[in-house]
Amino acid sequence: MRLNPPLARLDGDDVLVLPARQPRLVAYVSRRTRRVYVDPAGRDRAQDALGAHISVSTGRWRIRSPQDPPLEPLTPGVPEREFEEVALHPTLVDDAVVAVEGDLRVVA
């Protein structure tokens, strides 16, 4: 019996071949939609893994870019660092989000 590997859509006609057995997705950061899709049970793990600051007043996640100095505070009002939190549903990311360069996955 032949099994087809799972695929993820990328820009254009490109696809990413994923391993047949994937670890559990805890969070997905979409640069295109400016959202962080988070499994509520893994929210703390995702926050720690991303080094994110979650604003108490707005609920937006501030996520450091790779080129940001690690000890520099994450100041509000920088759109490329701010993301809206959305609850992660089992198929939401693979069905609704087209991956772009810079997207992040946090897995258990």
User: Which pLDDT score, from 0 to 100, does residue 74 have?
Assistant: 83
Q: Please report which residue ranges of the chain form alpha helices under DSSP H.
A: 43-50, 92-96
Per the DSSP assignment, residues forming a β-bridge with 108 are: none
Which strand (E) or helix (H) includes residue 9?
A: strand 7-9
Question: Distance of CA 17 to CAs 9, 10, 12, 20, 22, Å?
Answer: 9, 10, 15, 9, 12
pLDDT digits (tens, 9 = 90+) for 47-56: 999 989 999 9
Q: Where residue 32 falls among pLDDT bands split at 50, 70, 90?
A: confident
